[in-house]
Structure 1
């Protein structure tokens, strides 16, 4: 039985200005059989965004719909945890459907990929922003010597590369910038990236969680075993490779599952990979509105994600109601996982954990 493709666009929603740009024309040419629907704004497509009747079609929409737009506002926001700056997005949305994902909330939870065609404006802005920073003089937990820009806050760049050359353009840009690095997290193993030349200036952060949990929560992603098998290859291709242990979801047997994963991480990697490996650890934060959506298409996931017995509410900066593990409990759970890392992956430098 052949697996359904991750992407098979049959309809592309197009802003006219995007279709006039070279990158927009290239995206349309990549999917010549797809129906084209002109839209005034990539933000306002009711049949994709915000329609609760779509809840049972989330995955189909992600596979079959694509949006082509123009990024209007360009800014690099300070970050300080995973990166120094969040770069302007060259895409948002995703073809994958992780049950805990925070990315879709602004556009409606299905949120297929929107690719931005004005890549030259974005790369030009980034090059100027990097030059203004000068040379980084004080090492910090983000990096020892380079300003790090997260290029995939609102999407998965390894999947975006299936749609356009935007990500390749960014990797090539940072390969030419000796004072900066690109960075993105991914759950998709796209081996086409191995043919690029990142020159050590792009950090790929492979997100990992125990396979038993991933099978329930990481919908449409590459299997965890495939992600582990890719680590050495990406290092050999010239990428800096880190791992995200996230989200950490607590359930019966969770620590044993993480122990097995940490052992597998060591078994899957060479000394050269382990020597440059670092990790971010992020405990689960969930969202009340997403919980309600998930109940309509994937209620089994909510048995792990929605745990009132362990969680407390937290109002997000955007006004949404999030839940996270209770403060004192979260600290204890995190310490238990850090103890496992120290025991089973002592080579793994934890850049931050929260």
Structure 2
């Protein structure tokens, strides 16, 4: 699958990033790639903001890579998936999930951007963890550890195909007894099984019924492959959770979720069950992304753009999102939670919305 996912032919590179040790390592991995010098990884007109790129959506993700320097290092409070969002070591993605919010921020295809100043990022994260001290009380993120999401705007399993940045963070958290790393993934990268995280990294495998995934989770690992990987990652020393996201409401959706839960139950062993937890996130879509998707994958919009079921809401950045209607959504959430209790009673749901 790696060759299908990534075939890097052009690297847009900030000169400062090219001179750093990690930058040199990345460039050495793709010696045949054309190098295009750019002033900033944020401003590359031929990648971002050009609506004609919708015709090359997947090709750009497969063939383009951006190498930059992370300028602003902050750890933002979160409170759901994690206590804090760590400064990213990458953004963008080689996969092409139809509901992904990241293209709305940079514009159009948004391939992987990887940051070369990993040493400064790790130093910042380490310092931030130490400043927190011991977690004073349990919360829904974790009973004892401060949890840091290290993959908010990318998929760390795919990022690890590009550089050792994710490996460096997993190594870092191994030695931080008061904190854990965490990231959601739709890509099974078995190279991670050799990293010895010693319980200090949580992987959240995103799952949905295969009927939805084959339309919406473009260029990702099949759902069955993700489930089959859970036991192996638990044995390798990871904490493994599942991320039921996004939940798409359509005719027959609960029957398909029942089948998925049965598939999950049959595919994991006692060790995985004993530590498994879940997040449940119903679909939120975006008007601008809907218009873009119509240009490259209109079939997906038949599933996720449903004005008959959804209501608009203005987001904090001023754009229009749509989500399932108030009242109806509450009933949908309750129905899925009841199904989880029936089919996988050991599965603790950390939160659902």
- Is 1:154 matched up with 2:153? yes
Instruction: String of CA shifts for 1:5-57, please: whole Å, max 9, x gaps.
Output: 10010000000000010000000000000000000000011111111111011
In structure 2, distance between residues paired with 1:11 and 1:21 = 19
SS across alignment from 1:331: helix
Aligned pair 1:140/2:143, yes or no? no
CA distance in 2, matches of 1:137, 1:269: 33
C-alpha distance after superposition, 1:91-133 (max 9, x if no partner): 0000000000011211112000000000000000000000000
5 Å matches for 1:138-287?
Answer: 138-287=137-286
CA shift, 1:170, in A, is: 0.3
Cα distance in 1 between the residues matched to 2:104 and 2:116: 23
Query: Tell me, which stretches of 5 or more residues in structure 2 are unaligned?
Result: none
Kindly report which structure 2 residues correspond to 1:1-354, keeping only aligned pairs within 5 A, or say none.
Answer: 5-354=4-353
CA distance in 1, matches of 2:105, 2:32: 29
Q: Residues 204-227 of structure 1, C-alpha deviation per residue, up to 9 Å, x if partnerless?
A: 000000001000000000000000
Secondary structure, aligned partner of 1:327: coil
Deviation at 1:237, TM superposition (A): 0.2
Q: Is the 8 A contact 2:50 2:108 kept in 1?
A: no
In 2, the alpha carbon distance for the partners of 1:196 and 1:300 equals 39
Tell me, in whole angstroms, the C-alpha distance in 1 between the residues paired with 2:320 and 2:106: 17
SS of equivalent residue, structure 2 residue 5: coil
Once the two structures are TM-superposed, the CA of residue 259 in structure 1 deviates from its matched residue by 0.2
Distance 1:66 1:203 in 2: 27
Could you tell me how far apart the structure 2 residues matched to 1:266 and 1:326 are? 31
How many angstroms apart in 2 are the aligned matches of 1:320 and 1:48?
21
Counterparts of 1:181 and 1:122 in 2: how far apart (Å)? Answer: 16
Give the structure-1-normalised TM-score: 0.99
| SS of residue in 2 equivalent to 1:5 | helix
Shift of 1:3: 9.1
**Runs of 4 or more above 6 Å deviation:** none
Query: How far is the alpha carbon of 1:253 from its aligned partner?
Result: 0.6
Q: 1:187, 1:80 → 2: CA distance?
A: 22
Unpaired segments of 5 or more residues in structure 1?
none
Q: Structure 1: how far apart are the matches of 2:272 and 2:2?
A: 31
CA contact (8 A) 2:47 2:108 kept: no
* Secondary structure class of the residue paired with 1:317: coil
Tell me the secondary structure at the aligned position of residue 167 of structure 2.
Answer: helix
> How far 1:318 sits from its partner (Å)?
1.5
| Structure-1 separation of matches of 2:31 and 2:280 | 42
Q: For the aligned residues, what is the CA RMSD?
A: 0.9
TM-score, normalised with respect to structure 2:
0.99
Task: Give aligned pairs, total.
Answer: 353
| Alpha-carbon distance between aligned partners in 1 of 2:135 and 2:55, rounded to the nearest angstrom | 48
